[in-house]
Homo-oligomer: A and B are copies of this chain.
């Protein structure tokens, strides 16, 4: 596939994803009391602020890479964006990172208050599982088997041994001096596990066998690790305007990050290495879309 075809594929799906996410939140508003409407608004505030929808695109591309239809994996793609939005809202809370800028806008708790921001994150997590479970009602082949497997994959990835465990490590490492291997474990959990589940969800909904699903999960975790290390780099060298969030915050908060232990050059080498390892696991499936998405992690500026 040409670069322009890939870009057009992405643009088409991002538009569709944004519409579907908006619909998922706004559709129930009409029938609900205004107080619930306010909760839905708080959820939508972070969800609609976009980002690149990288996680959702990975789900869709993975489904196609294993011979399924992208469409089959759409509920999974929406679910991971909801999970990602929930994790951002809770991560930004005063008790956690206390960030005031996200995707170029004031963070959710600044606009809706801390209490509603906590509830909005909670509700986005539940809505993610509901959305994925709703794939039961779509045109998926073997829906109950694939959906139940996909739900198990997602729940494991974002639970105490996965994403939230990574957040807890991040919290515990503030002001501490963890070793590089500890930071890598933390970053793998914090970012790698969700990205691993993106590829595994796509493969599952696309009809892959267990061995393929595991291979996709491993590659996704490595890609997520590369993504998180490049995030650490951008927190030091990035352009706040371009990224829509504050920079230099890790150093201010004495947060553990690979850049406190290795140079920017070494970090770039690590990113490149993890991307290569992620790609090599996917090579047999010959997916230009997956390779392009994962390749885009290297050298990103936002």
Contact = CB atoms under 8 A, between A and B. Distances in A.
A161 B122 contact: no
Interface stretch (A55-63, A123-131, A259-267): A123-131
A3 B240 CA distance: 67
A35 interface: yes
B129 A164 contact: no
A121 B86 CA distance: 13
Interface stretch (A112-120, A223-231, A247-255, A283-291): A112-120
A153 B81 CA distance: 21
B32 A161 contact: yes
A134 B116 contact: no
A32 B193 CA distance: 15
Q: What interface size band does chain A fall in?
A: 35 or more
A148 B171 contact: no
Protomer copies: 2
A40 interface: yes
A223 to B, nearest CB: 21
A25 to B, nearest CB: 8
A122 B120 CA distance: 12
A165 B116 CA distance: 10
Given A96-B118, A123-B165, A126-B162, 14 more contacts: A28-B160, A32-B161, A33-B185, A35-B172, A36-B168, A93-B115, A95-B118, A119-B164, A119-B168, A122-B125, A126-B155, A127-B155, A130-B152, A144-B147
